[in-house]
Amino acid sequence: MGCSPYNSTNPSAFANRNATFLNLRNQLAGSNTTRIETAQHGRSISLYGMAQCKSDCLACFDIAVIRIRNCSTANGARIIFDGCFLRYESNFFFDQTTAQGNIAICGTKNVTDENGFGITAKTLLANLVTATPRIQGYFAAVKEKITSSGNASVYAVAQCAHTVSESGCRDCLSVAYQNMEICIPVSDGRATDAGCFLRYSATAFFGDNQTTNITPFFKKGNSSNKKTIIIGCTAGGVGFLLLLGIFFIFLLRSKKAKQSDKGDTLGATELRGPVSFAYRDLEKATGDFSQENKLGEGGFGGVYKGVLKNGKIVAVKKLTIGQSTRAKADFASEVKLISNVHHRYVVRLLGCCSKGPELVLVYEYMANSSLDRFIFGEKRGTLNWKQRFNIIVGMARGLAYLHEEFHVCIIHRDIKSSNILLDDDFQPKIADFGLARFQPGNQSHLSTGFAGTLGYTSPEYALHGQLSEKVDTYSYGVVVLEIISGRKSNDLKLEPATQYLLERAWTLYEDDKLMNLVDESLNPEEYDANEVKKSIEIALQCTQSSVASRPAMSEVVVMLLSKGQLKVRPTRPTFIDATNRVRGDTSTSTASSASNATASTTQVSGR
């Protein structure tokens, strides 16, 4: 149970609290147990309440009411039991999705098959985060069998308050998933926030006849060419089981919390925009932006390693853009939008500083730097196939989120191996949004001047300026070929000498010799040749000339994780003449405004 640190000053609020609880109890007595009920009582002094339960509903609710009264005169409180939860507040909170106090609670038991359980749990939870916001009632319970562990399965549930929006639900669950990742592969974990909760377990906590078929909800809109994400879920509907035996401190959002936080990013409210840092604090964190702390030089400025006063390690980027009123306005608006992008495979923008000699961005720090160093740089050959495949899947999931799951379609425009960062576990993070564009929902593509890296971009964009999310799909396919082959996209040392990587891959595909493309540093005993071959074929599908023939990134995820061979044969693309391509990892940018630089980050050297 958590009580607000702020007390109510009006005694009538507690009379309203009692009436609100009674109203909630009456609703729960005859409600669908998957629904979160809300109630309000009072006019001049209102009190708002929210409750839900599964088993022994009224008994659990009555106990919750008794316990929550221990908060005495607090103007807000929340209590969570095994079978129910209850929350009240003097301020309207029904539309709140994520707020201070969002946490994860991990179990203490380990599982036997940590690898199989971990992969299955992460996949299942990621699928829930995608599907649940599209389900009426914002609730889903799913079960997935662990293929490597006999009859063992992973069980998971996700739910949002029915009073929030679809995008709010998605954002809340994304934050919950990020928080709960630390639990996996422990046998159970839970994450709670103001507007949602997420739970997984190795033990069944709902019946097999109560699972939800989330397959239809991986389609975006009614587009007939979107394939369904297939996961092992059985049909049905279910009541939900809330969090098991947790106790945490709930800090009620107050007027003081609405002010800009400085320095401490750990308690930042997720959807209020980026934290505002003081320039002097960032100077101190980076040793006055010293050369010894410099991580690299990106397209829009240098990146430095910094240690905040709360001990958190961050990457700090100084932007070499104008200081005009227009530049700062564009900087502020786009930074606020990008800071709300929450996904495990996208680098997190933590905050910014616009009140100093330079505009500065603050990102989460990636200890392993960028992918290119491990594919064809100084650490070439250190990644095994399993790590490479996880990177391939993670990139696809991150792009699927940007294209289809965020509330606007974000086109990155510069997907390449140096813009994929790796965390401590070699999980990928898409970075450097300096050239990103937002595609209006009613347009199939944008017409714009070219900005990106030749050799990674698609023909229709490089030659005609036609920009759609399929430009990123094409670039993704090229990066996948780099990951598998260990060669740069513009490597002209391939045989014959006139060929570069993509053309070489297509030649081998047509000659049925795809395995000749595989990096020689990979141990053949450590990978499944069929899995490698299918990954190459998926990359080739992504690089087809026809925009319509390229799969959506959500479809790519499905193909990568599904069993069996691909049924669609890709068609050979139109190649851009290698002599017209830019040598090396060089970006050609037409952008110079702050809006093009807002989310740009590179945490590596040797660009």
- Rounded CA-CA distance 153/204 in Å is 8
261 a catalytic residue: no
Q: What's the pLDDT at 551?
A: 93
Interacting residues of 524 by C-beta distance below 8 A, sequence separation 6+: none
Domain with 472 in it? 371-596
Domain termination site, one of 43, 61, 89: 89
How many residues are there in the chain?
607
The model's pLDDT over 222-275, given as tens digits with 9 standing for 90+, comes to 333 333 333 333 333 333 333 333 333 333 333 333 333 333 322 333 344 567
Q: Model confidence at 486, in pLDDT bands (50, 70, 90)?
A: very high
Interacting residues of 488 by C-beta distance below 8 A, sequence separation 6+: 376, 482, 501, 585
CATH of the domain at 482: 1.10.510.10
pTM passes above 0.75: no
Residue 587 domain flag: yes
**Lowest-pLDDT range, 57-66, 246-255, 298-307, 422-431?**
246-255
The dihedral of CA 228, 233, 239, 242: what is its sign?
A: negative
Q: What's the pLDDT at 12?
A: 58
Residue 545 domain flag: yes
Q: How many CB atoms lie within 10 A of CB 403?
A: 22
- Rounded CA-CA distance 204/188 in Å is 11
The model's pLDDT over 3-35, given as tens digits with 9 standing for 90+, comes to 765 565 555 556 677 888 888 888 887 765 555
Give residue for tokens 């009411």: 65
CATH of the domain at 7: 3.30.430.20
Catalytic entry in 188, 193, 414, 432:
414
Residue 139 domain flag: no
Q: Which of 165-179, 264-278, 446-460, 544-558 has the highest mean predicted lDDT (pLDDT)?
A: 544-558
Residue 202 domain flag: no
The SS3 call for residue 592 is coil
**DSSP codes, 73-111:** TBSEEEEE-SSEEEEEESS--TT----TT-EEEE-SPPP
Q: Model confidence at 155, in pLDDT bands (50, 70, 90)?
A: very high
Residue 147 domain flag: no
Q: In Å, how far are 46, 308, 414, 440, 590 from 410, measured between CA atoms?
A: 40, 30, 12, 10, 18
Mean of the per-residue pLDDT values for the chain? 75
Domain termination site, one of 89, 124, 140: 89
Residue 479 domain flag: yes
Average pLDDT for residues 167-186, to the nearest whole number?
A: 87
Q: Model confidence at 393, in pLDDT bands (50, 70, 90)?
A: very high
Instruction: Report how many domains make up the chain.
Output: 2
Domain termination site, one of 73, 89, 105: 89
- Catalogue the long-range contacts made by 505-514 (C-beta closer than 8 Å, 24 or more residues apart): 505/481, 505/536, 505/539, 505/540, 506/540, 506/572, 506/573, 509/536, 509/537, 509/540, 509/570, 510/572
Residue 498 domain flag: yes
Residue 82 domain flag: yes
Q: Model confidence at 321, in pLDDT bands (50, 70, 90)?
A: low
Q: What's the pLDDT at 219?
A: 56
Interacting residues of 7 by C-beta distance below 8 A, sequence separation 6+: 72, 73, 74, 75
Q: What's the pLDDT at 237?
A: 35
